[in-house]
Amino acid sequence: MTGLRWGILATGGIAAAFASDLRTAGLDLVAVGSRSQESADAFAARFDIPRAHGSYQALVADPDVDIIYVATPHPMHHEDARLALEHGKHALVEKSFTLNRDEAEGLQRLAAEKGLIVMEAMWTRYLPHMVRIREIIAEGTLGEIRAVSADHTQNLPTDLTHRLNAIELGGGALLDLGVYPISFIWDVLGEPATIQATARLIETGADAEVATIMTHAGGAISTSLSSSRTSGPNQAVVLGTAARIEIDRVWYAPTSFRVVDAHGTVLEEYTSSVEGRGMQYQAFAAEGAVAHGDPSGALLALPVAESVGIMGTLDEIRRQIGVSYPTES
């Protein structure tokens, strides 16, 4: 099956960004679901969506929807993605994939049982500049990779009642921001062998800054820094014995990079040319996985098994910094 019919579950800011990019790409966005009919109607009118459902249940029951983008806050990802899968819909689930590894494994098992695709909406993995970076690494241009470093730092709202600071909503820098560099490190170096993490917590118990040092196969080292209270360079670097990749601001969005050899010679310069935010590329990947009959998502840039592993890394970071969410069992 190609040309999947998309539904969007929830109507917040990230849902709007995704809807805009689906429209830019000419993909088939047919329905939206919200907890209120008024919100669904307004979102549908804004993005010219044919059907607006006043509940998530109504959306997942819509027979004309093939795949659902789950755009609710972190604690609802597991429940809402499960709802979609139980109704026979493929699911693209906002990052972080779930609150923890146990929830992620549950979605992985259910999707496998149903023969459906479930994937994390880590849109960065599918952007053209990241595709090219993986090609360069695979070609051996960098030699042996010895280190990866990335930051994701933003000056976000400080209101303690805001979702980003509310521990009961999975608030904090780690799940909103830190998941980007941690996922990138996994992409380049694979699963960490050791993890060291430190953080500064705010009054709500959420993390405002998180830093990690991890080791990987062959002794490679990675470092990450995430902050919701300050805006930093938002750059990333992959260091190899023969060359390095310097990814410009903002590294996790469409941007430029250069490959520089050990003598300082620029071997390649790359500049992205992407319409919109670039979230459509993950939608293309999801449709491709369904078309190829690949329910495990093994052909994806981020298979569900890897999303499960990344959630395990985030769990260990949280254990070390002393962050837990009230909704976790």
Summarised one tens digit per residue, pLDDT across range 175-184 is: 999 999 999 9
Whether 51 and 171 map to the same domain: the answer is: no
158 and 291 housed in the same domain: no
Residue ranges in the chain assigned as alpha helix (H): 13-25, 37-47, 56-60, 77-86, 101-114, 128-139, 173, 179-189, 280-291, 304-321
Q: Could you report the per-residue pLDDT of 125-175, keeping only the tens digit for each? A: 999 999 999 999 999 999 999 999 999 999 999 999 998 999 999 999 999
How many domains are there within the chain?
2
- Average pLDDT of the residues in 270-293: 95
**Residue pLDDT, tens place only, 45-65:** 999 999 999 999 999 999 999
Q: What is the per-residue DSSP string for 110-172?
A: HHHHHT--EEEE-GGGGSHHHHHHHHHHHHTTT-SEEEEEEEEE-B----TTSGGG-GGGT-S
Assess if residue 329 is contained within a domain: no
Whether residue 205 is contained in a domain is answered as yes
Asked whether residue 139 falls in the same domain as residue 54, the answer is no
What is the arithmetic mean of pLDDT over 307-318? Answer: 98
Same domain, 220 and 268: yes
User: Residue 13's pLDDT is what?
Assistant: 96
Task: Kindly state the percentage of the chain with pLDDT values over 90.
Answer: 95
Residue 328 lies in a domain: no
- Domain containing 140 equals 128-273
Is 304's pLDDT higher than 90?
Answer: yes
pLDDT confidence bin for 2, thresholds 50/70/90: low
pLDDT band (50, 70, 90) for residue 327: confident
Residue 1 has pLDDT above 70, yes or no: no
pLDDT at 329 over 80: no
Please check the confidence at residue 106 and state whether its pLDDT lies above 80: yes
